[in-house]
Amino acid sequence: MGLLDGKVAIITGAGGGLGREYALLFAREGAKIVVNDFGGSADGRGEGSPAAQMVVKEIRDHGGEAVANGGDVADPATGSALLQAAIDSFGRVDILVNNAGILRDKSFIKMEEEDWDAIVRVHLKGTYAVTRPIFAWMKENGGGGVIVNTSSASGLLGNFGQSNYGAAKAGIWGLSNVLAIEGAKFGIRVWTIAPTATTRLTEKLLPPDLAEKWQPHRIAPAVLYMVSDASKPLSGKTVAISGTKFHELKVVSAPGFRPGDELPTVQDFIDNVAQIFLPDQAPITFD
């Protein structure tokens, strides 16, 4: 018995890196997989490749069931096509993992509009375009499901040279929070993950010791937990994941200052700094 026996999963960006590890692990646990990957270069400028078909072959060679899709996630037609592929091939969809992404890092002043638009298009619009038809199907068919959206520490905490990426990933986090609320009464659970892993997007940025520790296969079990019944009834959670640490991230509130009926003054802010602001803490780490 596998944790995902009888389940059907759609995974974007599954031709390599994290997405490939999710697909292979889910298939070993009994899921049938729709493998999406456009197969372009890390910055999104290259031509497509048969990356998705290669992962499908791996799954089938080990006795699993899978079909490939090479669509561009930011094209709304791809979201509909992914849903249709799951229905036509396997009769349903239970799991969606939005994983596809590209990088175009530059400091903000050097970033051209093209670099901004490309990142927002693939990450944020891509998450919208794929999720919308699948979320609707999960709602209308009454069986619920699980959606995992990929954010980043760059969006939740910030990172130099990634204003485009950080903005898109923060947007995905906000979208996930809304979907968790809207999906709750329909049995649709929504997770946000902020993974740190060694992939083609990050391998040149990580020191060798961390690159070794943060291999994608060490991330996949956490995502398997999220999409399986083992995590019921959890939803609306944001989890930072590396190869060495899993931990929830939350927005928390300071005690606050209440000015009463009087118009607050600047002096009120000065006098109540300790109540208005949270104390500075050490930065969140992923090691």
- Name the residue among 251, 232, 101, 252 with its Cα closest to residue 173: 251
Q: Is 22 a catalytic residue?
A: no
CA distance 243 to 266: 46
Among candidate residues 10, 44, 43, 8, the one with its CA nearest the CA of residue 29: 8
Tokens 């992939």 belong to: 199
Cβ contact 215:198 at 8 Å: yes
From the list 150, 105, 108, the residue with the least C-alpha distance to 126 is 150
How is residue 225 written in tokens? 């937990």
Nearest Cα to Cα of residue 149 among 235, 83, 27: 235
CA–CA dist 186, 71 (Å, integer): 28
**For 56-87, b where at least 16 C-beta lie within 10 A, e where not — what string?**
bebbeeeebebbbbbbbbbbeebbbbbbebbe
Length of the chain: 287
Please give the positions annotated as active site: 165
